[in-house]
């Protein structure tokens, strides 16, 4: 009864994780499939657990982790990843929708016959989370003068890893993570509006 729900939550968690860091969920799925029994990829997705694929993903992850912790460079990195993160999210959701996990013994039930749906859904979810990240980062950089950038980036990496593992092992908890992301987005929007209002008031005060 709950298998389709777990299947959906696993894919949503991995694609949301990709919105924060494109390579962490793909690398997590590949490593766990290769070295554990927590997730079993179908033949069409075995390339994710290939040694060369994992090595390339690890290098790309290292590059992104370094770039994302440098003020200004992090903004350019977000611009470049506007396409990459949704693509990674689509791949992560697509792989998860056909994989066997601890909570999904009969994968493919929810998206049977419509394999393009999880890929499209994963891309959309990753794009939304990427939008939250890209919107929040300038606020962090401005309020902390760039000092908080590496710490926020590290927190995002930790959250991405945690979400990837939770999505595979305990997918029901993904609901909590997604709710947290939504609440954070609301907070960022309010913070930006407050800063704009303060800047406008300052300009008016100077003009007066």
pLDDT in tens, 109-147: 555 556 788 889 999 999 999 998 988 888 778 778 878
Residue ranges making up the domain that contains 161: 3-207
Q: Is 105 helix (H, G, I), strand (E, B) or coil?
A: coil
Compute the distance between CA of residue 110 and CA of residue 4 in angstroms, rounded to an integer.
5
CB 19 within 8 A of CB 126: yes
Global pTM value? 0.85
Please check the confidence at residue 199 and state whether its pLDDT lies above 80: no
Domain count, the chain: 1
pLDDT for the residue 190: 80
Q: What is the pLDDT of residues 25-44, one digit of tens each?
A: 999 999 999 999 899 998 88
Looking at residue 115, what is its pLDDT?
72
Give yes or no for residue 166 having a pLDDT over 60: yes
* Average pLDDT of the segment spanning 90-104: 83
Residue corresponding to tokens 């890893």: 161
Q: Could you give the CA distance from residue 111 to residue 114 in angstroms, rounded to a whole number? A: 5
Q: What whole-number percentage of the chain has pLDDT above 70?
A: 87
């Amino acid at each position: 009864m709950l298998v389709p729900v777990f299947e959906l939550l696993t894919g949503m968690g991995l694609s949301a994780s990709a919105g924060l860091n494109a390579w962490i969920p793909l690398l997590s799925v590949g490593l766990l499939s290769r070295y554990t029994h927590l997730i079993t990829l179908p033949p069409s997705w075995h390339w994710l657990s290939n040694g060369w694929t994992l090595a390339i993903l690890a290098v790309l992850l290292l590059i992104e982790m370094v770039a994302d912790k440098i003020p200004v460079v992090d903004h350019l990195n977000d611009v470049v990843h506007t396409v990459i993160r949704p693509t990674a999210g689509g791949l992560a959701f697509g792989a998860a929708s056909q994989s066997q996990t601890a909570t999904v013994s009969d994968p493919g039930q929810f998206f049977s016959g419509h394999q393009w749906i999880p890929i499209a859904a994963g891309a959309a979810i990753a794009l939304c989370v990427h939008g939250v990240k890209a919107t929040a980062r300038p606020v962090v950089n401005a309020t902390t003068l760039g000092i908080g950038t590496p710490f926020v980036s590290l927190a995002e990496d930790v959250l991405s890893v945690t979400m990837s593992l939770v999505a595979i092992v305990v997918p029901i908890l993904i609901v909590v993570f997604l709710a947290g992301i939504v609440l954070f987005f609301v907070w960022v929007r309010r913070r930006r509006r407050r800063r704009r209002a303060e800047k406008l008031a300052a300009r008016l005060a100077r003009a007066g």
